[in-house]
Structure 1
Amino acid sequence: MPVTTVSAAAHITPVVVKTFFEHGRTKAKKFKDGDQEEEATDDIFFHQAFKIVKSFIELGTKNTIESLQGFTNTHVPSPYWAAVSPVSIPLSSCNKAADTLINWFGPDELKHVVGGERWWQVRGLDGVDAEWITQKEYLTPEPITPDLRTRNLSTADADILRMDHLERVILYVHGGGYFWGSINTHRYQIIRYARKSHARAFAVNYRKAPQYPWPCPLQDVLAAYMYLIDPPASALHKPVDPSKIVFAGDSAGAALCLTTLTILRDMGLPLPAGAVLISPWVDLTHSFPSVMANSETDIIPEYGFLAKPSTLWPVDLLPPDGGRVTRTTSNPPPAPGHVDTLKPTASHIEKEKDEPKSPEIKTQEEMLAQGQIEREDRSQKQASSSSQTVVEDESWEPKPPKVLMKDHTSVPLELHSQIQIYATTEQLCHPLVSPVLQGSLGNLPPLYIIAGEGEVLRDEIVYMAHRAAYPDQYPARKGVLREGRRQKENAERFTAPTKVHLQVFDGMCHVPTVFSFTESAKYAYRSVAEFVKHTTDSGNENLQRNPFPELQGPPSALSVLPDAEGKDEAKRSMVSRLKGKLGKPAPTPEASEDIALYKANEEVVMQAVEDHLNTTSATDVSTSSQSSVLGTKDIRMIRERVDIHGLVRSMEPRDQISALQIEPSAIGLIKEEPTLRWLCGQEKWDKMFKKQAKKALKRRRKLVTKAERMVQNAKEQGLAFTSDQRPPVSQHPSNVSMVSKASIPSRMTVEGDIQAERRWGPLDLADENPPPSAIAGRRDTPEAIALLKKSIYHTAPVTHSVVPHIKTIDVIRAAFDPHDHPTKAPKQSVSEQQTHTHIIPFHGLRIWDTLVGYFARKTSDKAARGGKHAVAAIKGTGESLGIISPDT
């Protein structure tokens, strides 16, 4: 049964009942044992919500990817108190983004790593779905100016003009593992961010994998930013100043935000004012320990994002000969083009010619030793051939599909199936796929980063945050710098620390803000809002001096206290003030509990600065003439933990955080434990859904026949290309809008047209190598055929010179196909195009919002009574408030 509101309710209801009794037994046991330690799951509402979300995601893994995508990309009406205006980011903005990416990659990387420059530009829609969102009360009274009244704008379009006075813009990129979720699943969260920030938000519904894998989503996010700062003439909004934009996203969306920032930085394009990264997924190789340690405390499924087989996914419906994971079949260097390396070097190709076809496979230890010998040989040759010795570390590092083994004396494992939906296995260590591997994360705008203590991504988030703040102390893996020309340049160019505010939330799982009714999440929303307001209102010069809104007080607030007695008095005074602030019985609209909590935490941070700077010698803190807010101290990072009541405390020193002790050489490598866990789950799915996999395989063959017939019929009806020659891959696509209108024959049907802004279609990829899951290069899925038909008969790219007529027999077939249409373009992939339901008047996404609202009301009394918990927590941590990390 596919993922629907009914199936989700049927799956989740037993979980709710079981959790209710389980919660009671757990609380009783804690009371009996005298356990006074507070946990997030002590709250029955959080416990239930956690189990509901975890159960829903597990339900998704037992259904097809298309089913989960369709459910989470179903249009849900917005609440009456919000102004939501749908727009389409046009192809012109998409093409600007494509040009930027093409220049970033360069021709060699486009060919060997990405698979070409065309396939990822193919899309089913005539743009990218997006929404302008804000609070209705923020709209101006007059909907439109007199000269625009004649345009007969809809209410939604008029609202875009009415919110244009709001200078602050949050560009929000939703999460969902890169393959599910939409602006509909996240709309209520986005509305809350816009309301609290007194801003307007722009949410982008980027294309999803596996139909549109990397770098398709990246292009769409970049196009959204181009649309904001350089809108086309058809756009209703005025150009937005980049200094008034803040990127924000969660999970995969947060990683897309970070990756987009690095591209803008690398290409010298204007950067936004800052970015909010909520549980960013920055390491798709799963090389950090928390991936294995935190499975029980997170909502992410134990085996990862598996799925019931369909024509779409997995790529290998049945296990390949020998299995999905086997002992390695090659020693380094790999065969040319082998997935062991992202792109073959000249030395690899030459060496392969002389190597035997079946070399003796070495152990991992022997491979490492061989790499050391080869490195020394290269160093000696360089020394003898040059007056200046150049020593480059080229020791072998196991890259996908090679697996790093715990036992070095064993033969490494090798992956023969794609393990992540977003990108091919060999692409996982690319810095634009796993941004934790960037050559440098310096020179970026201020970052506010949130993580849950119990989430599987915790370690990579903490490590990434410190890499950004301390680019000199957390270098990139040498293999990344060696293979990526741009990454090596970036490590040398971008050495300025990025200002980072990192918060890890106690007891919380992946994306803590999903549970918006909890006290800590309410604080997070307020903190995000204050960050947005501060970064967009400060101006570049002031922002360089102080990117942290918590430290925006007058300089006197940070004056150095004369002695220890004075510091103790200040701490006692702070606790006294917190008693008054957090002990109020009920919030008011002007001073709600999240505002009071934020102000209280702000005082904790301010006091911590004083305490830390009093005990830090001058040699430990660098000086900066721009740091007027902080005196002579240049603070590059705030590091905090947040308890379940939303109260902050210091994070332990860096040398006590295990994730920060990992060597760069071990980051971004696929390791044995997560590989075997994934294999265990995949083998279970292979056994459970063996029949479905075989059926999907048969259907794939039938669909290929159908696609071949469609193309043949189109050719018979006149399908042709410009001069029957398609532009070579090396030709820059900005020149491909190239075919003059005079050269395009007039033989076009009323059903379709040749679009000048549309560069490529699925028939333009003969010399490209798209990933196996990309529907642009496939003919064996219903969505791929829908894309092909639309490109031939309805919205042809400029490479087509004729839009043919549809054969009568094809029209008849389409009339009986529920997924097709006899005269209109078929509905495109649910990974791109929203669906609309008319069967039932409610949807699971609205039910979730109703539940969240119910939980919020039920926990409001508890939040109001949280004063005693706040005071106790601050008293307990008052002796160690070193929250600030100085520039050491």
Structure 2
Amino acid sequence: MPVTTTSAAIHITPVVLKTFYKHAKRKGQKLKDGDASEQATDDILFDESFHITKSFIELGTRNTIESLQHFTNTHVPAPYWAAVSPVCIPLSSCNKAADLLIQWFEPEELKHVVGGERWWQIRGLDGIDAEWITEREYLDNTKPSAGMKLSVTDQELLRMEHLDTVMLYVHGGGYSWGSVNTHRYQIIRYARKFKGRAFAVNYRKAPQYPWPCPIQDVLAAYFYLTSPPSDALHKPVPPSKIVFAGDSAGGGLCLSVLTVLRDMGYELPAGAVLISPWVDLTHSFPSVMKNTATDIIPPHGFIHKPSPTWPIECVPKEGRARVFPTQTNPPPKPGHADTLQPSSEKANEQLTERLVAGKQEGRLAHAQELQEEDVKDQANMLNGDQDVTAEDQISVDVSSSGVSNVSVDSKQGDKTPGFESIDLWEPKPPKVLMKNPNDQPLEIHSQIQLYATNEQLTHPLVSPILQASLGGLCPLYIIAGDGEVLRDEIIYLAHKAANPQKYPTRKGVSQGSQRQRENAEKFQTPTRVHLQVFDEMCHVLTVFIFTEGARYAYRSIAEFVKHVTHHSTEHLKQNPFPELHRPPSQITDPPGSDEECDHHSLNISKVIKAKRPKIRRPKPDHENSARSDIQLYRQNEEKAKDEVKNDDVQFMPEDTHHTSDDNQRVHDIPLVSMIRERVDIFGQVRVMEDEDEIPCLRIPIGELGLIKEEPVRRWLGGQEEWDKIYHHSAVKAERKREHYKKKAENLIQKARKNGLTLDQEVDNNTGSGSVSISATLSRTSVGEVESERRWGPFDLEGEKPPESAIAGRRDTREAVALIKKSIFHSAPVTHKTVPNIPTSVAIGAAFDSADHPFKPPKQSASEEQSYAHALHGLKIWQSLISYFMKKSSKKAELGKRQAIETLHTASDKVTGSPSRT
């Protein structure tokens, strides 16, 4: 059964009951023992929500990635009190982002690391789905001009224009699922708190659109804000009024985009909020193994029930294991993935080995087939006792590969007749760093992350923790849960950004990149960072909005957004931290907001607690559970100032001090570069321990970004269990792939017969590509050639897209839908004709729920939103929240009036005044 509202309810209901029973039993035992300690799970709402969320994500792994994407990208209407205006970021903005990335990568890296410059620009939609979001009560009452005929949502978009502060929000979901719909309620809450508007982007997701597709989309969203196309309704938003924000994968994307903008000299946004950012996809930090029980992330990672889309090998070929002891010596060394961009010498050396290995079968052997008789253990490999050598000259005949009489001379580089040896380079399977150095390293033969290939995991734009420098960025507010698996990499990230010289990247990462070598020297100015680690909280603690820690986090994020967007750049160079601003900024919430709801719910909690048997316990200052998030923030604001007085913060180096004519300079505490804090379960901060006392900051630099034994074995255990449980599904998925391959071939053949002609074919036949688009369109065709759509699925000659990328596939339903749309509906400029839809194709589409006889077929849920025909789980969740918020708001207002009347009555009795009505 796929992920649906029904299957989720069936899966989660036993979890709810089991958690309730265990919670009551645990609380009863604590009461009996007189245990006065308090934990986050003492709150029944948090306890239940934690296990429900964990259970739902686990359900996702027991289903196909397509079904999880479909469920979490189902459109859900916004609540009545929010103004939401959907827009489509056009292809022109996407192209601008692509041009910047192409320039950032440079030709060789594009070819060998990314796999080309075309495949990741291919998309099914005519742009990127996005939404403008704010509180309805913030809308301007000014009506549009009488001559403008606009929809209601467009009118609301224009009525948001006076809100100058914009949060560009990038949602999380493991780079592979989730959407604006799953995060809309959180985003609305942010907009309400900082009294501005948010812009949420529904970027393309892996495995259909792997790295760097999401980076291009987030860049496009930024350019759409700062330099909108002429037909956009909104005015350009200055970078100084934009704050990036993202959770989990979204936080990692925000950081990667910031480094690209920094490297290319573009103006950065005013700041960035990173909530549990996922920044190390190699899983090289200890908390990935230690914190599994206290986090919502599945213990085996994001594995899924086999489908045509994922995993790449549903059934391992020839019964081969996914991970087994290595058969070759370095390269690569244990713990390292082999390079995608080798030197000519190394590429030529491997080609020699492959020619020798494949000589007997008359074909070119694959790198993963290479074996050696004397394979060393890890210690000897790392010590370099074994050097792979090639014969000086080997001549073989390889007829089946299309290459004959190939002569390779290792002393002459890659001057090989017929091809460049680097073009035939295949990275050897990554070797795993073993705990016991005397063990023979394992090697991985399956892709372990949906977002990027194994060889790409150490790229600085995939795992930003491996950037040569994270200095010179805009101010960062970074939060993490102490119980989450990503805790260590987040703490390390914050310190690396604030101390570029103290936390460099290992040489193995930067040596192969000229840009990274330059960045290590170029960006040494510390990035201003506020790091907060929340006790007992799991991944993305802001999901649990009813906890005191989360309420404080929302308030603190809002004050950070307001501070960095309301002050000048020069002022922020001195103080980007709102907690240190003098005089303190004004904080207010609109009537009927969740501030009142929070206050009221806490009062109810206090009354309930008062009815229980009293337990003697020390009463710290956080015992008053009725305080609001504003009160919490004010208390923590004073503590931050005390931290400065006590030298518990990090200051900027003297050579980075700035002078400013800003009138407010004298009011601020100057030149603090990093605030490091922990936050307890009551939302109160304390100073974080010294760096020397934090284990993850003492990890040797050479071990970061290495693929290690423990995480690999844990992933392998889950994947092998799935291979057994879902073997029938895997075999069925393989058959489906063959079915879709034939369907794609049949579709292309029919399109050819109906006149499909490609640009390169015209060039080859006539020697000219000057045929005009308008002259070659079929008059009765339903589609058109789009001038801004650069590439399509037929434009990948010379490209090597990742195996999961939809652009290079023909064996999934989504790939066939992309091909069909590219041929008959939204053709790229490389198509000279848009043929008619054949009758047989139209008839077949009529019987396909995901297709249409004359309209574009439904595109992948990794890109396009779905629309539920019945009540959807996300809508149920949002409706319940809206209902309780509305009821609580009314009760809070009623309680306030009753309290005022009571006070008046008491005052009248004391003074003898007549009672008031």
User: Aligning the two structures, in what range does the TM-score lie when normalised by the shorter sequence?
Assistant: 0.7 to 0.9
- State whether residues 165 and 196 of structure 2, in contact with CA within 8 Å, keep that contact through their aligned partners in structure 1: yes
Shift of 1:330: 2.3
Structure 2 residue aligned with 1:640? 677
- Distance (whole Å) between structure 1 residues aligned to residue 493 and residue 433 of structure 2: 21
- Matched residues, number: 794
Alpha-carbon spacing, 1:75–1:623, altered in 2? closer, same or farther (3 Å): closer
Give the alignment partner of residue 475 of structure 2, picking from 429, 446, 454.
446
The whole-number CA distance in structure 2 between the counterparts of 1:155 and 1:666 is 55
Aligned-pair distance for 1:142? Answer: 1.1
Choose which of 313, 316, 321 in structure 2 pairs with 1:319: 316
Q: Measure, in 2, the Cα distance between the counterparts of 1:645 and 1:825.
A: 52
Aligned to 1:515: 544
Alignment match, 1:843:
873
After superposition, residues 557-568 of structure 1 pair within 5 angstroms as none
Contact 2:279 2:465 in 1 (8 A): yes
1:878 corresponds in structure 2 to: none
Q: 2:176 aligns with which of 179, 182, 188?
A: 179
1:554 Cα shift?
A: 5.0
- Name the counterpart of 1:260: 257
| Rg (Cα) greater in structure | 2
Rate the CA distance shift 1:694–1:400 in 2: closer, same or farther, 3 A.
closer
Do structure 1's residue 131 and structure 2's residue 127 form an aligned pair? no
Q: Provide the residue aligned with 1:818 in structure 2.
A: 849
1:268/1:859 CA distance change after superposition, 3 Å: same
Q: Are residues 1:119 and 2:119 paired?
A: yes
Q: Which residue is equivalent to 2:237?
A: 240
Matches within 5 A, 1:213-362: 213-320=210-317, 321-333=319-331, 340-352=338-350, 357=357, 358-359=371-372, 360-362=374-376
Runs of 4+ with deviation above 6 angstroms: 371-374, 579-585, 618-623, 855-862
My pick for the range that moved more, 543-552 or 346-355, is 346-355
Is the CA contact (8 Å cut-off) linking 1:639 and 1:650 kept in structure 2?
yes
Flag the 1:51–1:84 CA change in 2: closer, same or farther, 3 A.
Answer: same
Partner of 1:505: 534
Q: Is the 8 A contact 1:171 1:201 kept in 2?
A: yes
Measured after TM superposition, the shift of residue 747 of structure 1 is 2.9
- Cα 1:845/1:440, change in 2 over 3 Å: farther
Letter in structure 1 aligned against 2:117: E
Deviation of 1:807 after TM superposition, in Å, equals 1.6
- Structure 2 residue identity aligned to 1:160: L
Q: How does 1:616-655 map to 2 (within 5 A)?
A: 624-626=657-659, 628=665, 634-655=671-692
2:248/2:276 contact within 8 Å kept: yes
Distance in 2 (CA, whole Å) between partners of 1:460 and 1:857 is 41
> 1:419 touches 1:425 (CA, 8 Å); kept in 2?
yes
Aligned to 2:413: none
Q: Under a length normalisation based on structure 1, what TM-score does the superposition of the two structures give?
A: 0.85
**For 2:96 and 2:577, how far apart are their aligned partners in 1?**
33
- The equivalent residue for 2:899 is none
Amino acid of the structure 2 residue aligned with 1:537: H
Paired position in structure 1 for 2:411 = none
Letter in 1 for 2:817: A
Pairwise CA distance, 1:623: 7.9
Unaligned runs of 5+ in 1: 375-397, 556-578, 588-592, 728-735, 863-888
Give yes or no for contact 1:133–1:194 (8 Å, CA) kept in 2: yes
Q: Is the 8 A contact 1:400 1:669 kept in 2?
A: no
Shift of 1:101: 0.5
Mapped to 1, the partners of 2:258 and 2:36 lie a distance apart of: 44
Structure 1's 344 and 620: CA in aligned 2 closer, same or farther, altered over 3 A?
closer
Q: Distance in 1 between matches of 2:620 and 2:97?
A: 52
Amino acid at match of 1:102: I
Which letter does structure 2 place at the counterpart of 1:429?
Answer: T
Residue of 702, 717, 729 corresponding to 1:680: 717
Matches within 5 A, 1:31-50: 31-50=31-50
Secondary structure of the residue aligned to 1:218 is helix
Q: Kindly indicate whether the alpha-carbon contact (under 8 Å) linking 1:304 and 1:678 is maintained by their aligned counterparts in 2.
A: yes
Give SS of 1:23's match. Answer: helix
Give the Cα–Cα distance (whole angstroms) in 1 for the partners of residues 103 and 763 of structure 2.
21
Aligned match of 1:709: 746
Partner of 1:808 in structure 2?
A: 839
Q: So what's the TM-score if we normalise by structure 2?
A: 0.83
Output one character per residue of 1:722-758: Cα deviation in whole Å (capped at 9) or x when no partner.
Answer: 251579xxxxxxxx9x967468524353310000000
Q: Give 1:521-540 correspondences, 5 Å limit.
A: 521-540=550-569
Instruction: Note if contact 2:548-2:681 (Cα within 8 Å) is conserved in structure 1.
Output: yes
Partner residue in 1 for 2:730 = 693
Amino acid at match of 1:820: D
Code of the residue aligned with 2:677 in structure 1: it is E
Q: Report which stretch shifted further, 758-767 or 539-548.
A: 758-767
SS of the residue 2:443 aligns to: strand
Q: Tell whether the 8 Å contact from 1:139 to 1:163 is kept in structure 2 after alignment.
A: yes
Write the distance in 1 (CA, Å) between the matches of 2:763 and 2:55: 49
Secondary structure, counterpart of 1:201 in structure 2: strand
CA displacement 1:545-604 (0-9 Å, x = unmatched)? 00100000159xxxxxxxxxxxxxxxxxxxxxxx999788966xxxxx011110111001
Cα distance change on mapping 1:697 and 1:534 into 2, 3 Å: same
| Shift, 1:653, TM fit | 0.3
Amino acid at match of 1:802: T
Matching of residue 369 in structure 1 with residue 383 in structure 2: yes
Cα displacement (A) at 1:34: 3.7
Aligned equivalents of 2:858 and 2:129: distance in 1? 14
**1:137 positional shift:** 1.0
Larger mean CA deviation between 846-855 and 801-810 belongs to 846-855
Give the letter aligned to residue 747 of structure 2: M
Matching residue of 2:803? 772
Would the alpha carbon gap of residues 849 and 443 (structure 1) be closer, same or farther in structure 2, given more than 3 Å must change?
Answer: farther
Q: Deviations over 1:837-874 (max 9, x none)?
A: 1223x533542662597599999999xxxxxxxxxxxx
> How many Å apart are 1:802 and its aligned residue?
0.4
Q: How does 1:778-793 map to 2 (within 5 A)?
A: 778-793=809-824
User: In the alignment, residue 603 of structure 1 is paired with which amino acid?
Assistant: E
Give the distance between the partners of 2:561 and 2:652, measured in 1 at CA.
Answer: 33
- Secondary structure of 1:449's aligned partner: strand
User: Which residue number in structure 2 is paired with residue 596 of structure 1?
Assistant: 631
Structure 1 residue 351: Cα displacement: 3.4
Cα shift at 1:333: 2.9
Of 751-760 and 632-641, the range deviating more from structure 2 = 632-641
Native 8 Å contact 1:283 1:460 kept in 2: yes
The one-character-per-residue Cα deviations of 1:239-271 (angstroms, maximum 9, x if unpaired) are 000000000000000100000000000011110
What is the identity, as a one-letter code, of the residue corresponding to 2:564? T
Q: State the alpha-carbon separation in 2 of the partners of residues 334 and 749 from structure 1.
A: 56
Return closer, same or farther for 1:449/1:16 CA change in 2, 3 Å cut-off: same
1:332 and 1:764 mapped to 2: Cα distance?
A: 36
Letter aligned with residue 99 of structure 1: D
> In structure 2, how many angstroms separate the alpha carbons of the residues matched to 1:771 and 1:87?
30
Same amino acid, percent of matched pairs: 60
Letter in 1 for 2:347: I
1:448–1:339 CA distance, 2 compared to 1 (3 A): closer
How far apart are 1:631 and its partner, in Å?
A: 7.9
Runs of 5+ consecutive residues of structure 2 not aligned to the other structure: 358-370, 389-426, 585-618, 893-917
Q: 1:653-664 residue pairs with structure 2 within 5 A?
A: 653-664=690-701
Task: Kindly provide the amino acid, as one letter, of the partner of residue 92 in structure 1.
Answer: S
Deviation at 1:632, TM superposition (A): 8.8
Give CA-to-partner distance per residue, 1:221-252, whole Å, 9 cap, x none. 00000000000001000000000000000000
Q: Is the 8 A contact 2:459 2:466 kept in 1?
A: yes
5 Å-filtered alignment, 1:147-162, equals: 149-162=146-159
Tell me what 1:13 maps to.
13
Deviation at 1:150, TM superposition (A): 2.4
Asked whether the equivalents of residues 332 and 431 of structure 2 are also in contact (C-alpha less than 8 Å), the reply is: no
Q: Is the alpha carbon distance of 1:813 and 1:534 closer, same or farther for their aligned partners in structure 2, counting shifts above 3 Å?
A: same
For 1:470 and 1:861, how far apart are their aligned partners in 2? 49
CA contact (8 A) 2:777 2:834 kept: no
Which amino acid counterpart does residue 12 of structure 1 have in structure 2? Answer: I
SS of residue in 2 equivalent to 1:542: helix
Is 1:207 the counterpart of 2:204? The answer is yes
The farther-off stretch of 809-818 and 464-473 is 809-818
Distance 1:581 1:412, change over 3 A: closer
In structure 1, what is the Cα distance between the partners aligned to 2:718 and 2:70?
24
Q: Is the 8 A contact 1:624 1:632 kept in 2?
A: no
